[in-house]
Amino acid sequence: MRSGTICWDGTLLITVYNSTEDGGFADTDVTVHSDGRTYTVPAGTRVRLIPGESITIQPYLYHDFHVEEGTGDVLLGEVSMCNDDENDNRFYEPIGRFPSIEEDEPAYRLLCNEYPAAKE
């Protein structure tokens, strides 16, 4: 379970879908948990969060973030109770654990998968 809170001055839109057992988008109502309120919205709804509001993302909930045009910048923070990328996260289109980066200058800090192999 993850909880995200936004700050700055923009408005965050989070598109939500439940997952089917085979990993597709379910055409079922989605239960939203936000700031002590629980309510349901139709699949594909863009839940609107203003600065200071938060939402809890339940396991197997597809979610996609957008900033509402013309509202300003958004800074989004996430707190995870546990990080189980194999079973918790839902990605409709497959992506790697670390996305590829098109480098235009030498790396200043390496990601954990970018270090050279250890010598025996």
Task: Give the residue numbers spanning the domain of 37.
Answer: 2-92
In a domain, 30, yes or no: yes
In a domain, 39, yes or no: yes
Digit-coded pLDDT (tens) for 82-104 = 666 666 666 677 766 666 767 78
96-102: list long-range contacts, CB under 8 Å, 24+ apart.
none
In a domain, 112, yes or no: no
Digit-coded pLDDT (tens) for 48-89 = 999 889 999 888 889 999 999 999 988 888 777 666 666 666
In a domain, 27, yes or no: yes
Query: What single letter denotes the amino acid at residue 81?
Result: M
CATH number of the domain that 84 lies in? Answer: 2.60.120.10
Number of domains in the chain: 1
